[in-house]
Amino acid sequence: MHEYGLMQEMVALLLKKLQEGVCPETGKIEVVLKVGGFAIHSAAATRQAYEVLTKGTRLEGSKLNLMVEPVTLNCAGCGCQEVLGEDQVDPHDPLPLAECPRCGQVAPVQGGRGVESLELVCE
């Protein structure tokens, strides 16, 4: 359900841009969406929501290029930089922390929140 709400907002923004004449009436459309790892729970559910929401619109049949930016730990203590898995951090925590796998120090988690970019590519 989380993915559906996010894609409702994105599709509404895209359709508004298309109404403003950003793309020609004919031709292929590609949507490039870059989101943080906390923004969605499932890439498959996000793609499915996009397909459902674009049916019957100018975006129907367009390609969704979905890029999910990872959640990372950058330990100030030892300099360890590591991409974290879904099970290592609570996405609902407003200030997520994780234990450094190298030195054990608790460090803040970076990235992974919200929509980072949304782009229409017209051919």
For residue 102, the domain's CATH number is 3.30.2320.50
Q: Single out the residue of 38, 19, 22 nearest to residue 86, CA to CA.
A: 38
DSSP-assigned letters across all residues of 30-44: EEEEEEETTT-S-HH
Count of domains for the chain: 1
Non-local (6+) Cβ contacts of 41 within 8 A are: 2, 3, 91
Mean pLDDT, all residues of the chain? 89
Measured at the CA of 69, the angle between CA 65 and CA 70, to 5 degrees, comes to: 140
User: Which structural domain, as residue segments, surrounds residue 39?
Assistant: 1-123
What are the φ/ψ torsions at residue 68 (nearest 5 degrees)?
A: -105, 115
pLDDT digits (tens, 9 = 90+) for 29-88: 999 999 988 888 889 999 999 999 999 999 999 999 999 988 899 899 999 999 987 777
